[in-house]
């Protein structure tokens, strides 16, 4: 019987059975590289093919989403839900509306989510969903009709003890409201089937802020570990959505200076620092799906750099908070040349493989998204428990809970990723810590 895993054979197997799904291959490879030595040191895992089983989603569904636009024209999109692994709790993970969404992207995100959710220590499995719908330039009514049509099919597969979606790119409080309304209407039930809900109907305080705040708490812990702090640090941040704006807000609160934000059109650089007042303006502005970050410059000054990314701007810390593979090897070299201390992923897999290698080899502290952006799903877990218990926790209590979740994840990463006197290997730390709990649960279930 096989009691060892060979990394390259395993990856050949993954690539062969998932042709063309490059971001999925990338995500699996990153985890496998860390956990294969651990598995080979603990052959009980190889014997039950735990890694092979983890790399195959429990199920993936895809479905047609038909809807009529404001001109009466019928539109056809494709919706998905990938239910990756429910060994430690109901499937849990966001819904993404973006034209780039396809099965491979959602498999990468669902796979990552399994380990991330495990790191929070809350009982949540991994899943992800979405559609190739582009909300940019769509009216409120069009977005509502799309969300309703999407949920009219999705409701068959989700439920508060089965699979609990939330937001992601292109899906925020408004879209969650439309989807929740439709689920409630179809099923005639009021339950915690989605998280990121409005506060009036079962949402949790702190959920909106949790991902961005959590990422900066993780940065704070990384810097504290080397005897430093966020105070006075210049931060370059990409994205200008939920994660980016709340990361910038927490950097400000901790005495740092966020100087950039971006969107798919380019980035703005404000050398004076993006103040709370300016951030509030961006938050309001960007709730209109399709609004441009470039408008910031007309309002407040600074400069706009069309079709560019912010990683060449001098900084002490960098927080990629937009999308996957948005920071490549050249960008990493620019950050290294500028003596950047730490790169913390607010987004999911924003750094390419080559970028991560360059950063780690140069001794830059690097936190992978599955650890650093776990605050969002952590708070979602607390929203689920508030819904199940039919109670409401206050802001102070939840703020402290978020801080603790992030500190505990940092500690777990250090426990598994520290080596000698060199920088902590947060990739190895997060992957092994996340893997172990899921693997042990699968071990307990036997071959299922
Ligand atoms: P939002 O939709 O609120 O914002 C997304 C931002 O990223 C926008 O500024 C958008 O620009 C930009 N963006 C999206 N796609 C691209 C692209 N292909 N190229 C350049 N810029 C792009 O999403 P979130 O802030 O919620 O999500 C951002 C990242 O954080 C994602 O990777 C998501 O998976 C991850 N994440 C989110 C969590 C959450 O709780 N929301 C939790 C954990 C991770 P534009 O407006 O031009 O499209
Ligand atoms: O990537 C993520 O962790 C999210 N989009 C949030 C998932 C959630 O269920 O809150």
Which H, E and C letters describe 274-333, residue by residue? CCHHHHHHHHHHHCCCCCCCCHHHHHHCCEEEECCCHHHCCCCEEECCCCCCCECHHHHH
Ligand nearest to the CA of 380: 2
**Where residue 71 sits, what CATH number does that domain have?**
3.40.50.10860
Catalytic residues: 128
**How much is the pTM?**
0.98
Do residues 214 and 355 share a domain? yes
Pocket of ligand 2 (CB under 6 A): 92-94, 113, 116, 166, 168, 195, 348, 376-377, 380
Q: Measured between alpha carbons, how far is 420 from 315 in angstroms, rounded to an integer?
A: 28
- 268 lies in the same domain as 248: yes
Tell how far the Cα of 322 is from the centroid of ligand 1, in angstroms.
4
Distance 30 CA to ligand 2 centre (A): 20
347 with 217, same domain: the answer is yes
Q: How many domains does the chain have?
A: 3
Q: Which residues line ligand 1 (CB under 6 A)?
A: 98, 100, 167-170, 172, 211, 239-244, 263-265, 321-323, 346-348, 373, 376
Separation between Cα atoms, residue 22 and residue 98, nearest integer Å: 18
**Which atom of ligand 1 approaches the CA of 167 most closely?**
41
Q: Could you tell me which residues come within 8 angstroms of residue 113 by beta carbon, excluding any fewer than 6 positions away?
A: 84, 92, 93, 126, 127, 128, 377
Classify residue 420: in a domain, yes or no: no
Task: For residues 51 and 63, state if they share a domain.
Answer: no
Of 131, 157, 190, at which residue does a domain stop? 190
Return per-residue pLDDT of the chain as tens, 448 residues. 678 999 999 999 999 999 999 999 999 999 999 999 999 999 999 999 999 999 999 999 999 999 999 999 999 999 999 999 999 999 999 999 999 999 999 999 999 999 999 999 999 999 999 999 999 999 999 999 999 999 999 999 999 999 999 999 999 999 999 999 999 999 999 999 999 999 999 999 999 999 999 999 999 999 999 999 999 999 999 999 999 999 999 999 999 999 999 999 999 999 999 999 999 999 999 887 779 999 999 999 999 999 999 999 999 999 999 999 999 999 999 999 999 999 999 999 999 999 999 999 999 999 999 999 999 999 999 999 999 999 999 999 999 999 999 999 999 999 999 988 889 999 999 999 999 999 999 999 999 8
| Residue 446 CB coordination number (10 Å) | 7
Neighbours of 231 (CB within 10 A): 11
Q: Residue 93: what are its φ and ψ, rounded to 5°?
A: 165, 165
Q: List the one residue out of 34, 59, 170 whose CA is nearest residue 110.
A: 59
DSSP run (H or E) holding 355 = helix 353-361
Map tokens 């199940």 to a residue: 388
Residue 369 CA, closest ligand 1 atom number: 44
Q: Assess if residue 396 is contained within a domain.
A: no
Distance 319 CA to ligand 1 centre (A): 12
- Does residue 138 lie in a domain region? yes
| Structural domain ending residue among the three candidates 312, 331, 363 | 363
Residues 176 and 225 in one domain: no
* Cα 444 to ligand 2 centre (Å): 27
Sheet of 266-269, strand order = 260-263, 266-269, 303-306
DSSP state of 171: B
Residue of minimum CA distance from atom 1 in ligand 2: 94
User: What is the span of the domain harbouring residue 30?
Assistant: 1-56+425-448
The whole-angstrom separation of Cα 406 and Cα 220 is 10
């Amino acid at each position: 019987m096989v009691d060892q895993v060979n990394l390259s054979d395993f990856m050949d197997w993954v690539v062969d059975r998932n042709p063309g799904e490059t971001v999925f291959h990338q995500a699996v490879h990153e985890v496998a590289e860390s956990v294969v030595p651990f598995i080979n040191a603990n052959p009980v895992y190889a014997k039950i093919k735990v890694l092979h089983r983890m790399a195959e989603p429990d199920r993936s569904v895809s479905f047609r989403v038909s809807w009529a636009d404001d001109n009466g024209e019928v539109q056809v999109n494709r919706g998905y839900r990938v239910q990756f692994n429910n060994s430690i709790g109901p499937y849990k993970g966001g819904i993404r509306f973006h034209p780039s969404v396809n099965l491979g992207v959602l498999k990468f995100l669902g796979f990552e989510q399994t380990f991330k959710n495990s790191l929070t220590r809350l009982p949540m499995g991994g899943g992800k969903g979405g559609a190739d719908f582009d909300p940019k330039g769509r009216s409120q009514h069009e977005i509502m009709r799309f969300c309703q049509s999407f949920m009219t099919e999705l409701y068959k597969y989700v439920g508060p003890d089965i699979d609990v979606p939330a937001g992601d790119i292109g899906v925020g409080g408004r879209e969650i409201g439309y989807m929740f309304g439709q689920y409630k209407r179809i099923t005639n039930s009021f339950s915690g089937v989605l998280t990121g809900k409005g506060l009036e109907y079962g949402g949790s305080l702190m959920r909106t802020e949790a991902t961005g705040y959590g990422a900066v708490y993780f940065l704070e812990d990384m810097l504290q570990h080397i005897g430093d702090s966020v105070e006075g640090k210049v931060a370059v941040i990409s994205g200008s959505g939920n994660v980016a704006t709340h990361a910038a807000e927490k950097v400000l609160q901790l005495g740092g200076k966020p100087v950039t934000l971006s969107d798919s059109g380019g980035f703005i650089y404000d050398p004076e620092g993006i103040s709370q007042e300016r951030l509030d303006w961006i938050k309001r502005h960007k709730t209109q799906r399709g609004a441009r970050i470039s408008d910031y410059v007309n309002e407040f000054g600074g400069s706009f750099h069309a079709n560019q990314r912010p990683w060449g701007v001098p900084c002490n810390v960098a927080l990629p908070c937009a999308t996957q593979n948005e920071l490549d090897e050249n960008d990493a070299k620019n950050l290294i040349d500028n003596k950047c201390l730490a790169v913390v992923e607010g987004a999911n897999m924003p750094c390419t493989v080559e970028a991560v290698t360059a950063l780690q080899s140069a001794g830059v502290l690097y936190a992978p998204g599955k650890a650093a952006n776990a605050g969002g799903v952590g708070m979602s877990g607390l929203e689920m428990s508030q819904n199940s218990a039919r109670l409401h926790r206050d802001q102070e209590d939840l703020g402290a809970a978020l801080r603790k979740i992030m500190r505990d994840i940092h500690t777990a990463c250090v426990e598994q990723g520290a080596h000698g006197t060199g920088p902590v290997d947060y990739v190895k730390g997060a992957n092994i810590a996340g893997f172990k709990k899921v693997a042990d649960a699968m071990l307990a279930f036997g071959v299922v």
